[in-house]
Structure 1
Amino acid sequence: MKAGGLQISVVVPVYNHGKYLAEALESVLAQTWAPWEIIVIDSSTDDTADTARRFLPRIRYLFSDRNGLGDARNRGVEAARGDAVAHLDADDVWLPDKLAVQAEALTARRELELVGGYVESFFSPDLPEEARARIHCPAESLPGLSASALMVRRAVYDRVGPYETHWRLGADLNWLLRVRDAGLETFIVPQVVVRRRLHAENTGLRDREFVRERVLVLKQAMDRRRKAKGGETEPGGEA
Structure 2
Amino acid sequence: MRLGRTAERRRRRSVRSRRPGTRPPSTRPCCTSSPICRTCCSSTRSTTSATRAGPTRRLRASPAVRTVTGPLVSVIVPVHNGARFLAAALDSVAAQDYGSMEIVVVDDGSSDNSAEIAASYRVRLLQQPNRGVAEARNAGVAESSGELLAFLDQDDLWLERKVSRQVAALEADPTLGFVLTRMDILLEPGTPRPEWLPEQMRWQDSRGTVPSALMVRREAFERVGGFDPGYRLTCDADWLARAKDAGVRWSAVDEILVRYRIHGGNEIYDRDAVLREVLAVVGASLRRQRSVIGTGGA
Shared topology, TM-score over 0.5? yes
Look up the match of 1:47. 113
Moved over 3 A (4+): 132-137
Distance 1:143 1:150 in 2: 11
What do you get for the CA RMSD once the two structures are aligned? 1.8
Distance 2:104 2:267 in 1: 26
Q: Which runs of 5+ in 2 are unaligned?
A: 1-65
Instruction: Work out which of the residue numbers 45, 52, 63 in structure 1 matches 2:127.
Output: 63
TM-score in terms of structure 2 length: 0.72
Q: From the superposition, tell whether residues 5 and 35 of structure 1 become closer, same or farther in structure 2 (CA, over 3 Å).
A: closer
Question: Counterparts of 1:148-163 in structure 2 under 5 Å?
Answer: 148-163=212-227
What is the deviation of 1:35?
Answer: 4.1
Is the CA contact (8 Å cut-off) linking 2:233 and 2:267 kept in structure 1?
no
Q: From the superposition, tell whether residues 186 and 17 of structure 1 become closer, same or farther in structure 2 (CA, over 3 Å).
A: same
Look up the match of 1:237. none
Distance 1:53 1:23 in 2: 14
Look up the match of 2:170. 106
What is the deviation of 1:225?
Answer: 1.2
Instruction: Work out which of the residue numbers 80, 85, 100 in structure 2 matches 1:20.
Output: 85
Distance 2:86 2:95 in 1: 14
Question: Counterparts of 1:96-135 in structure 2 under 5 Å?
Answer: 96-125=160-189, 128=190, 131-132=192-193
Secondary structure of the equivalent of 1:76? helix
Is the CA contact (8 Å cut-off) linking 1:6 and 1:107 kept in structure 2?
no
Look up the match of 2:259. 195
Q: How many residues align?
A: 226
Look up the match of 1:88. 152
TM-score in terms of structure 1 length: 0.89
Comparing both chains, which one has the higher relative contact order based on Cα–Cα distances under 8 Å and sequence gaps of 6 or more?
Answer: 1
Secondary structure of the equivalent of 2:237? helix
Q: From the superposition, tell whether residues 199 and 207 of structure 1 become closer, same or farther in structure 2 (CA, over 3 Å).
A: farther
What is the deviation of 1:2?
Answer: 2.9
Secondary structure of the equivalent of 1:216? helix
Q: Which runs of 5+ in 1 are unaligned?
A: 232-239
1:29 corresponds to 2:91: no
What is the deviation of 1:36?
Answer: 2.1
Distance 2:236 2:193 in 1: 26
Q: From the superposition, tell whether residues 141 and 49 of structure 1 become closer, same or farther in structure 2 (CA, over 3 Å).
A: same
